[in-house]
Amino acid sequence: MPRWENDNTEEIKKGKNLKSKIRIKSFYKKTPLRKETQPVAPAGPFQLDDFQAEAIEAVLAGRNVLVAAPTGTGKTLIAEKLAEKLMDEGMGLIYTSPLKALSNQKYADFREMFGDERVGLVTGDVTINGDAMLTVMTTEIFRNKCFEDVEQLANIAYVVFDEIHYLDDPHRGTSWEEAILFAPPHMKILGLSATVPNVKEMATWIAEVRNAEVLVVEERKRAVPLEINWVTPDNEIINEHEAKRQVKKLSDKRKEEQEEYKARKRNKFYN
């Protein structure tokens, strides 16, 4: 497969009568350096992380669990294992998510996993198979059920609160609180949260208002560690220490420029 290296910027830069850096748009576009083959995800049975194993064991034993782990560490897997077990036992599960868009996507995922008949979706503006064993809904809808349709929840063993740290959201937080306070006492809670410093406090609160024990499973390590770098205006990749220096330098320069500009304006005015 032909690849063209067509960036002739350098040559232009060297040209004597061209002062500015002009980039000539060539007919062929640039292509990235790409490995011939894409890395393939390791096959074979998926090794559970310790925190996943711990949380799964706890929910399978019927305990209230609050899991806090960074994004992308596979919290959903815990809910999936729980769903499998409950559906085998003929018990129901409600999965709530903070956003409508998220509910739709979770619904699609679960449907693929458990089949059309066994999965439902209820949001404010759509209801599909609302009496299914596993129903995905927004937290608002679940909160409403806790007030209005309590009998409907008789066969539901667990409620999963995805992204439970949204409790902090000034607009939506109320539904979470009301749902946690008023979910029927027979229902167990599985809360999935991003890492926040006061998970234990949240758990203590849930335990207190629901008068039940809540296990906290915390994972601080990311599945893939992050490396954060900064990019300078001159397109150099630098680390935090250098970035702080660079920012200081730039902002000093910026202030100077502004002073100068003001002074110039003043001079113009007086002269």
Partner 1 sequence: MAKPRRFKDPAEIVELIQDKLPALYFVFGRAKTEEMAFEVGKEWDFLYPDEKERVRKMITDAEAEHPDMFVHRDRAMLKRLLMQGIGYHHAGLSPALKRIVERLYESRLIWVLFCTETFAAGVNFPASSAVFESCRKWDGREFRQLLNREFFQMAGRAGRRGFDEQGHVYIQISAEHPDETGFFKESEVEMVHGRLAVSANTVLSLLMWKSDQEIDHFLKSNFSAFQKRRRLKDINRKITKLHNKQQQLQEHFCEEQQSTSCPLIRKKLKRELHKLKSRKYRQMPGSQSRIAEIENTLSLLKKKKCKNVQCFDAAREIKEINNRLELLHYKKKQMEYDAKQYTIDFQKMRTLLQRLGYVKERELLPRGKFALHLHVQEIFVTELVFSGLIEDLPADEVAGILAGIDYVPGRREYIQIPPYDFDVVNKLRAELMEMGVPQDYMVWSPVPGYLAYAWYNGKEFDHLLDNCSLQEGDVVSVIRREIDLLRQMEKAAVDNPVLLEKLRGIRRTLDRDQVAVLF
Residues 227-256 that bind partner 1 (CB under 8 A): 227-233, 235, 237, 240, 243-244, 246-247, 250-251, 254
Could you tell me the two tokens for 41?
Answer: 């995800």
Closest to 95 measured CA to CA, from 137, 152, 128:
137
Interface with partner 1 (CB under 8 A), residue from 32, 44, 45, 185 = 32
Tell me whether residue 158 or residue 176 sits nearer to partner 1 (CB atom): 176
72 binds partner 1 (CB under 8 A): yes
225 binds partner 1 (CB under 8 A): yes
Could you tell me the two tokens for 199?
Answer: 């998970």
Using CB under 8 A, which of the segments 10-18, 53-61, 96-104, 153-161 binds partner 1?
A: 96-104
- The angle at the Cα of 262, spanning 259 to 265, to the nearest 5 degrees, equals 150
Site residues (CB under 8 A) for partner 1, limited to 108-127: 108-109, 123-126
What's the closest the beta carbon of residue 30 comes to partner 1, in angstroms? 5
Tell me whether residue 55 or residue 123 sits nearer to partner 1 (CB atom): 123
Element (H or E) spanning 265, and its range?
Answer: helix 240-270
Site residues (CB under 8 A) for partner 1, limited to 166-205: 167-170, 173-174, 177-178, 181-182, 193-198, 201-202, 205
36 phi/psi in degrees, rounded to 5: -55, -45
Can you tell me whether residue 161 is helix, strand or coil? Answer: strand
199 phi/psi in degrees, rounded to 5: -60, -40
